[in-house]
Chain A
Amino acid sequence: MNALLRVEQVSKHFGTRENGVTAVDRVSFGVAQGEFVSVIGPSGCGKSTLFHMIGGLVAATEGRIDVEGDAIRAPHPAIGMVFQEESCFPWRNVVDNVAFPLELQGMARAERHERARHFIDMVGLHGFERNQPSELSGGMRQRVSIARTLASQPRILLMDEPFAALDEQTRLLLGDKVLQIQQELSQTTLLITHSITEAVQLSDRILVMSFRPGRIKREIVVDLPRPRTSDAVVSPAFGAYVADIWNDLRQEATLGLAAADRRRTSAA
């Protein structure tokens, strides 16, 4: 496969060699141009660490991550990150939030506002350009963050559980929005998530991670027709994928829960 993004034998250890944790263990995969790939796993499987390494914010202990042969050592211009936590600038209105990366590039005000408006429309926030983030709902603010990252026109959109803080209905509807955008832009996307429905709804391919050490346990090609919408959620084929992945994940999630329980009892 001719991959745009390539992750090769990447590991991340925290702490010392004798007394440390291997968060990510020899993970390898590629993402092709225009492909939508999800990485799914239980809490504590190292998927956020993986996100930060691909984003260039955290260095890998071993292995190599590259974009078309260009190794990632710091945030790479080809990669646009969307974070899990609230990250709008509260003192900027919507249009100035979205135009932020363009402002850093030194683009003129009129031009960057025009480009920002285009992406604001795309995420369905037309009419909210002049609103402050505090006047928007959590889902709307997360869409502002997505528009902001899209405005930088990254070759790869890298998202870490962007909808984790939102309710299920909002998640499904935002998922539709992401699908629509992805079709419109043929945006290459790597999504980190713990939501099985979200992964199946959006992805061409799903990589299932194991609980500590985080390894890629299995790869699933989602062969559902495109264009998709959240309507697909009720189809039998969709249900079959979800059940299949849950079978795999249940084991890992149980391990994660047990580890959390151990931590709690040893702390008490």
Chain B
Amino acid sequence: MAAAARMTGTAAPRLAATLLLLAAWQGLALSGWLFQDVVPPLQTVLGGLASVLSSRDFYANAAITGAELLVALTAGGIAGVLVGVALGSSRFLSGAFERWVNYLSPTPKIILFPVLIMMFGVGVGSKMAMGSVSCFFPVAISIAAGVRGVDPALLRVGRSFRATRAQTLRKILLPAMAAPLVNGVRLGFGVALIGVLLAETKLSNKGIGFMIMEAYHRFDMPRMYALLILAVAFAATVNLLAGRAASRLGGQHQGTLR
């Protein structure tokens, strides 16, 4: 990424924008225009970051959010892949059910949270369910499109060499779908994180979302910003890695386009 920025010459403006943002923040903090501590100066935020990172509390809560996220990705992801493959490979199923997936997909899943609390309790269960429901839709839609996008010429090659059903799935369909799969999981990860954190801020006593709300209620702004920064950094890192994996897989596919 850094190398690409150097090559395209965007490194300097990017750095300038970052510095400008930090300077503006610091200026606003020192101006005294806003209520004290709403925009704390950078050194205070850094102090908050250090204190969060050195507290055992943070790691315990991060582990809980991480576990919720992992369960959400696994459950929502597997369900999404299965439904996506079914929709993508059957014209009947897609005609009958795909509209429901498409209608429900942009619905904010948080409105289901009360239902999920009643079904899975106020603990981690309802957060996992929130994340799973959120993750399911982009994965299912992306996989369905991926299955339809598999080049029929490659499937014909498999047939001409008399590949078995299992061989066709393992050696042609799955690799051909690797890029949409990674992309779907990437999108699914984003919304699963949103779902989990949002649910934690609504009703919970554990997790990063809970910590953020707790810091807010105590009006501990440096701590709140520190947690926000960490959450954003985590999401950005995972997204970057998944994006790289997807573009590497996608790059291999460009060869087939004429």
Contacts and interface: CB of A to CB of B under 8 A. Distances in A.
B167 interface: yes
B251 A86 contact: no
B27 interface: no
A132 B161 contact: no
B255 A133 contact: yes
Contacts of B162: 74-75, 77, 104
Contact of B254 (A56, A92, A134, A138): A134
Secondary structure type dominating chain B contacts: helix
A87 B153 contact: yes
A132 to B, nearest CB: 6
Interface in A128-151: 132-136, 138, 141
Given A85-B153, A89-B172, A91-B249, A75 B161 contact: yes
25 contacts: A56-B160, A75-B159, A75-B161, A80-B160, A83-B156, A86-B258, A87-B153, A87-B154, A87-B156, A87-B157, A89-B175, A90-B253, A91-B175, A100-B157, A100-B161, A101-B161, A103-B171, A104-B161, A104-B171, A132-B255, A134-B251, A134-B252, A134-B256, A152-B161, A165-B258
Interface in A101-159: 101, 103-104, 132-136, 138, 141, 152
A150 B32 CA distance: 78
Task: State the main secondary structure of chain A at its contact with B.
Answer: loop
A74 B161 CA distance: 11
A7 to B, nearest CB: 18
B246 to A, nearest CB: 13
Contacts of B154: 87, 89
Contacts of B153: 83, 85-87
B176 interface: yes
A190 to B, nearest CB: 14
Interface string B61-73: 0000000000000
A152 B160 CA distance: 11
Interface string B147-166: 00000011011011111100
Contacts of A89: 154, 157, 172, 175
Interface residues of B, number: 24
A136 to B, nearest CB: 8
B215 interface: no
A132 B252 CA distance: 7
Interface string B168-205: 00011001101000000000000000000000000000
A207 interface: no
B160 A91 contact: no
Contact of B160 (A57, A86, A133, A136): A57
A81 interface: yes
Contacts of A41: none
Interface of B: 153-154, 156-157, 159-164, 167, 171-172, 175-176, 178, 249, 251-256, 258
Nearest to A106: B167
Given A134-B255, A135-B255, A165-B258, A104 B163 contact: yes
Interface of A: 55-57, 74-75, 77, 80-81, 83, 85-92, 100-101, 103-104, 132-136, 138, 141, 152, 165
Contacts of A75: 159-162
A91 B163 contact: no
- 6 smallest CB-CB distances across A and B, nearest first, come from A134-B255, A81-B160, A101-B161, A133-B255, A85-B153, A90-B256
Contacts of A83: 153, 156-157, 160
Contact of B176 (A77, A85, A91, A152): A91
A56 B159 CA distance: 9
A134 B254 CA distance: 7
Contacts of A77: 162
Contacts of B163: 104
Nearest to B163: A104
Contacts of A92: 175
A91 B156 CA distance: 17
A86 to B, nearest CB: 6
A90 B171 contact: no
A182 B157 CA distance: 22
Contacts of A134: 251-256
A81 B158 CA distance: 11
Contacts of B251: 134
A223 B249 CA distance: 50
Residue from B162, B175, B178 having most chain A Cβ neighbours under 10 A? B162
Contacts of A152: 161
Given A83-B157, A91-B178, 13 more contacts: A55-B160, A57-B156, A83-B156, A83-B160, A85-B153, A90-B252, A91-B253, A103-B171, A104-B162, A104-B171, A132-B255, A134-B252, A135-B255
Contacts of A87: 153-154, 156-157
